[in-house]
Amino acid sequence: MIALERARELVAAFARQRILVVGDLMLDQYLYGGVERISPEAPVPVVRVRREKRMPGGAANVAVNLRALGGGAALAGTVGRDAAGDELRGLLAGQGIGAEAVMTDAKAPTSVKMRVVAERQQVCRVDWESGVALAGAAADEFDARLRSAVAASTGVVIEDYSKGVVGQRVVDVVIDAAARAGIPVGLDPKDNATLHFSALALATPNCREAHVCAGLPPRNAIADDPLKDATLRKAGEILLAKWNLKQLIVTLGAQGMYLAAPGAAPRVIPTRAREVFDVSGAGDTVIAVCMLVLAAGGTPSEAAALGNDAAGVVVGKLGTASCAPAELLEAVVRDAG
């Protein structure tokens, strides 16, 4: 828990931050409608579409969250030479998100994820994507853009969806440039145990990602009391040492967050959600808030507390959502009450 006055101070400082998000960019598409019958062609519901919505997804959703929270945001990644890539660039520009380090890749299409939602329930998801593999002059140009973008930022998020942008070369460039600039680096990993990270201020894996990245068997469920889960504790200890972390936050859904830091006993922050409608993108909100807090001079504990409050806000909304400063402060008030 964090004092309201301190929360207000940190949130007010968000506007002075500029966080660079490095990772896999996507275009999210939502089709909303209702179900009135089953298809005569197959035992599946027929969704009558009433409206459609498109928004930045993947690593770009972290940037959207940063802007919604009042902070500055920039992106580094790739889009395809296609209509989806043009649309994504337009959406980023419309939200004031810097795209100087976004490259166009003629060899790979823009990743698109379409979700069909009927009566507040997701019916299915359809993906269009292929891996990104920058090489030669294109990789050199991306390195140069990365270094320039890091130097113009107050913090960096590495947002890995295992689509190809976040490779060891990119990781090394980001960490080196951030060290030179003296700014914090946060990681939202995928289940990729082969990448080497060092000197991270923060990492926010979910339960499965934490175990896989630690070299342990994948797990989606843990003990009712996370503090009594020996395997989760082991995963935390491994990741703190492996990534030279200052703060590990393992997101546990309805069980809240598991926090581990060097020289301190693990602790759990219970979830603040009043009602859960959709967890899509909640992890993006958590790391966005946490990195803004750290860049503003807050402590890892303050970052975790505000990140948890923000997560409680967005899971109460349908679809990939974000949290506004006023909503975050209202959540802090509810937490204190």
The 8-class DSSP code of residue 292 comes to: H
Across the beta sheet with 248-251, the strand order is 98-105, 72-80, 18-23, 155-159, 185-188, 202-203, 248-251, 257-260, 267-269
DSSP string of 73-113?
Answer: EEEEEEEESSHHHHHHHHHHHHTT-EEEEEEEETTSPPEEE
For this structure, is 284 an active site residue? yes
What residue type is 173 in one-letter code? V
- Two tokens, residue 86: 């043009």
DSSP string of 137-151?
Answer: HHHHHHHHHHHHHHH
| Residues linked to residue 155 through DSSP beta bridges, in sequence order | 19
What length does the chain have? 337
| Cα dihedral across residues 308, 310, 314, 320: positive or negative | negative
Beta strands in the chain (DSSP E): 18-23, 25-38, 45-58, 72-80, 98-105, 111-118, 121-128, 155-159, 185-188, 202-203, 248-251, 257-260, 267-269
Max Cα distance, the chain (Å):
62
- Two tokens, residue 292: 């803004």
| Residues linked to residue 268 through DSSP beta bridges, in sequence order | 258
Look at residues 204, 209, 164 and name the one whose alpha carbon lies nearest to residue 185: 204
CA–CA dist 59, 160 (Å, integer): 8
Look at residues 326, 289, 284 and name the one whose alpha carbon lies nearest to residue 71: 289
Q: Which residue in 160, 278, 284, 335 is the catalytic one?
A: 284
- Two tokens, residue 121: 């329930």
Q: Which residues are catalytic?
A: 284
